[in-house]
Amino acid sequence: MERAWVLLLFTCILAESFASPRGLIFNLDNGELCMQSLQCKSGCCHRTSGLSLARCSDKAAENQECSRKHIYGIYYRCPCESGLTCDADWTIVGGITNSDFGICKDPAKRK
């Protein structure tokens, strides 16, 4: 019985956080603490160094520094806004340490 209540409560919280424009776990605004980019409205959970806390932040605009999208979900440089590609080389070390940085470019411009 108790378990059922906990389950119900959890479902409610989950539903609430998805439904409301401003959530506790999902739909986070810029500046709120996050652990995964999925939580952020902006789609980027950003931290400045390995020791600092991560916060939701805007994606990188054209000509700004970026990382390519990856599975870690926390970025030192946010991925690019839609329509842009992050012009970064892929290296094994960089892939592990999450430090393959590039510049956001418009793919149409390169032609």
Partner 1 sequence: MFAFWSLALLLISVARGKEVCYDRLGCFTDDIPWAGTTERPISKLPWSPERINTRFLLYTKKNPDNFQEITAIDPKTIGYSNFDANKTTRFITHGFVDQGEENWLSDMCRRMFQVEDVNCICIDWSKGSRCPYTQAANNIRVVGAEVAYFINVLVADYGYSPSKVHFIGHSLGAHAAAEMGQRIPGIKRITGIDPAQPYFEGTPVEIRLDKSDAEFVDVIHTDSAPTIPYLGFGMRAAVGHLDFYPNGGEQMPGCKKNALSQIVDIDGIWEGTRDFVACNHLRGYKYYSDSILYPDGFLGYPCAAYNLFETSCFPCPARGCPKMGHYADQYKDQISSTSGFTKLYLNTGDAKIFARWRYKLSVTLSGKSSVRGYVNIALYGTGGNTKQHQIFQGYLQPGSTHTVFIDSEIKVGTVTTVKFLWNNNVINPTFPKMGAEKIMVEDGENGHMYNFCGSDTVREDVLQTLTPC
What is the CB neighbour count within 10 angstroms for residue 22?
10
- Pair of tokens at residue 82: 């839609």
Query: Other CB atoms closer than 10 Å to residue 14's CB: what's the count?
Result: 13
Does 51 contact partner 1 by CB under 8 A?
no
**One-letter identity of residue 3:** R
Closest distance of CB 4 from partner 1, Å:
28
Which residue type, as a one-letter code, is found at position 6? V
Q: Do the strands 65-67 and 101-105 form a parallel or antiparallel pair, or are they unpaired?
A: antiparallel
Closest approach, Cβ 102 to partner 1, in A, equals 17
Beta bridge partners of residue 46, listed in sequence order: 55, 75
| Position among 7, 13, 24, 96 found at the interface with partner 1 (CB under 8 A) | 24
Q: Which of 22, 38, 72, 97 binds partner 1 (CB under 8 A)?
A: 22
Q: Is 16 in the site for partner 1 (CB under 8 A)?
A: no
Which one of residues 16, 20, 83, 99 is an interface residue with partner 1 (CB under 8 A)?
83
Binding mask 26-45 for partner 1 (x = CB under 8 A): --xxxxxx------------
Instruction: Identify whether the C-beta of residue 46 lies closer than 8 Å to the C-beta of residue 78.
Output: yes
Residues engaged in binding partner 1 (CB under 8 A): 22, 24, 28-33, 53, 55, 58-59, 61-63, 81-84, 106, 108-109
